Amino acid sequence: MVLLNIYGKIEPIIISEKLGGGLCNPEPDWVEGLQEDFKEVVLVHNHKISSYKRSGLDISWAEDRYDIQNIVEQLGWQEDGKSDMQIIAEHLIEIKVLNFDNSFLQIKNEYLDSPTCEPQYTRKLLDFCCKYSHQRVQKM
């Protein structure tokens, strides 16, 4: 899963029909796993902050940094019957192969069972875009 630094609820968007890539919110089964990841991040953050505090360091920069409830309220994303972590997880946007069976990935290589047997295809695509844009800037 490659998450973008963009949030919101969107309909799936195909970026490239040939490559089968697109943007979408995480599938419901991923939302549950993401919530577990959030809990871990918050626990580690709170542990570090308490360690810094015991050492007498200034922690004002970190206060309310992971206040999930405050984040949801500020963005106006409240939904009845859902936890704040679930709401944030549902608003993440990822880039992924949405139509693998009809993409060039599958059509040009019938023996490729799944792009999961090697580095993520979406990661390769983003790396390519970064390298391409960097080279264009250098030539200008």
The count of domains in the chain is 1
**What is the pTM for the complete model shown?**
0.70
Of the candidates 93, 66, 65, 90, the residue with the CA atom closest to the CA atom of residue 79: 90
Residue 84 has pLDDT above 60, yes or no: yes
Please report which confidence band the pLDDT of residue 105 belongs to, taking 50, 70 and 90 as the band edges. low
Q: What would the pLDDT profile of 22-38 be if each residue is shown by its tens digit?
A: 889 999 999 999 999 99
Instruction: Please calculate the CA angle 12-80-67 and round it to the nearest 5 degrees.
Output: 85
Q: What would the pLDDT profile of 108-124 be if each residue is shown by its tens digit?
A: 666 655 555 556 666 76
Q: What is the DSSP string of 45-65?
A: HHHHHHHHHHTT---TTTTTT
Give the residue numbers spanning the domain of 41.
Answer: 2-139
Q: Which amino acid is at 92?
A: L
